Amino acid sequence: MAYHGLLHKYGSLLDLPTHTRPVSLLEGDTPLIPALNLAREMGGGFELFIKFEGLNPTGSFKDRGMTAAVSEALGRGATTVICASTGNTAASAAAYAARAGLKSIVLIPQGKVAAGKLAGALAYGAQVIQVDGSFDDALSLVALISEKHSICLVNSINPYRIEGQKTAAFEICDTLGSAPDWLCLPVGNAGNITSYWAGFKQYDELKSTGLPRVLGVQAAGAAPLVLGHPVDRPETVATAICIGRPARGEQALQAAEESRGRIIAATDEQILDMQRTLARLEGIWVEPASAAGLAGLAAEVGAARLEVRAKRIVAVCTGHGLKDPDIVTREMSSPKIVPPKLDALEEAIL
State which amino acid sits at residue 239: T
Span 104-123, contacts to ligand AN7 by CB under 6 A: none
Stretch that binds ligand AN7, among 42-50, 81-89, 122-130, 226-234 (CB under 6 A): 81-89
Distance of CA 189 to the CA centre of its chain: 10
Query: What's the min distance (Å) between Cβ of 191 and ligand AN7?
Result: 4
Residue 313 pairs in a beta bridge with 48, 182
Residue 270, H or E segment: helix 268-282
Q: How far apart are CA 192 and CA 258, in angstroms?
A: 16
> Which residue, 42 or 294, is less far from ligand AN7 as judged by CB?
294
The answer to whether 5 and 30 are in contact (CB under 8 A) is no
Stretch that binds ligand AN7, among 4-12, 269-277, 285-293, 333-341 (CB under 6 A): 285-293
Stretch that binds ligand AN7, among 70-78, 84-92, 170-178, 259-267 (CB under 6 A): 84-92
Span 9-48, contacts to ligand AN7 by CB under 6 A: none
Q: Does 236 bind ligand AN7 (CB under 6 A)?
A: no
DSSP label of 133: S
Q: What angle do CA 300, 310, 217 make, to 5 degrees?
A: 25
Size of residue set near ligand AN7 by CB under 6 A: 23
Residue 116, H or E segment: helix 115-123
According to DSSP, the β-strands at 47-52 and 32-34 are antiparallel
Q: Does 277 bind ligand AN7 (CB under 6 A)?
A: no
In the three-class reduction of DSSP (H, G, I as helix; E, B as strand; rest coil), residue 228 is classed as: coil
Stretch that binds ligand AN7, among 72-80, 85-93, 170-178, 332-340 (CB under 6 A): 85-93
Span 142-201, contacts to ligand AN7 by CB under 6 A: 156, 186-193
Residues that bind ligand AN7 (CB under 6 A): 60, 62, 85-89, 156, 186-193, 240-241, 287, 289-290, 318-319
